[in-house]
Amino acid sequence: MVKINKLLDILMEIYRWCKAWVWILGCMWQEIAGRLNAPGLVFRYSIDKEEIDVVSVVDKLSFTINNRVSSLPNNPSTRDKQQIQRRVATAISRNNRMTNSAGAGIKTILPVRKNAPSLAESQSTTPTKRKSAVTSETRNTKRQLIPEVSKKDRAAKVLILKEASQYCDHLTRTSINQQKHMEDLKRHQEWLRNRVSQLRRSLAAKR
């Protein structure tokens, strides 16, 4: 019974310590949340939202709080709690001054705007020229795919189509021949497997 009472006393003491620490940390995070809700973060957007200037004091504030938490005592007294509260208030005040000084030097970077094409340039690109450019590009692509035509610097459209038809026939015949050759190789492979099996059986019978 005495041991149980001692164990209960120890558990109650641990509970009081935990409750004290929860209260201290709650106060600290309330102060931090208050500072974060205040103008501690400054966002500035450019005209077309392509560039953003951001000034943040979260990392500095987090570094200060982490240093304070790591130096907290294991058994906080009333005096320790008061010292911790004063440290938190001092750190927040220091970070506030740093934020104000940093915010004074913020420069907004404006995006570089591209000049719109002139009226003469837009009128020079007619549908006929665009169609001619597309046709020329398509013809060059097809010419590069055909071996007989790719060696020539220039080739007429009729010649490209004629050589393309002949090249397609050649590819078809080559594919058929390769398919037949592959089937012959498969049959020969099967014959070799059967022959190996026969030799193994005959060798096993002699033993």
Reported as a single tens digit per residue, the pLDDT across 17-32 is 777 777 777 776 666 6
pTM of the predicted structure, to 2 decimals: 0.31
- Cα radius of gyration rounded to whole Å, the chain: 42
Same domain for 159 and 92: no
In a domain, 119, yes or no: no
Return the pLDDT at 182: 92
In a domain, 100, yes or no: yes
Number of domains observed in the structure of the chain:
2
Is-contact 114 50, C-beta < 8 A?
no
Same domain for 99 and 9: yes
Last residue of a domain, one of 104, 122, 156: 104
Same domain for 80 and 16: yes
Supply 61's token pair: 């504030």
Same domain for 90 and 15: yes
Q: Is 31 exposed, middle or buried (0-12, 13-18, 19+ CB in 10 A)?
A: middle
In what helix (H) or strand (E) does residue 185 lie, and over which residues does it extend? helix 157-206
In a domain, 120, yes or no: no
Same domain for 166 and 96: no
Last residue of a domain, one of 79, 104, 129: 104
Reported as a single tens digit per residue, the pLDDT across 58-111 is 444 444 445 544 455 556 667 766 777 777 677 667 766 766 665 555 455 555
Is-contact 60 98, C-beta < 8 A?
yes
In a domain, 128, yes or no: no
**Containing structural domain, residue 95:** 2-104
CA distance 96 to 75: 31
Same domain for 9 and 82: yes
Supply 114's token pair: 């591209």
Residue 137 confidence class, pLDDT cut points 50, 70, 90: low
In a domain, 126, yes or no: no
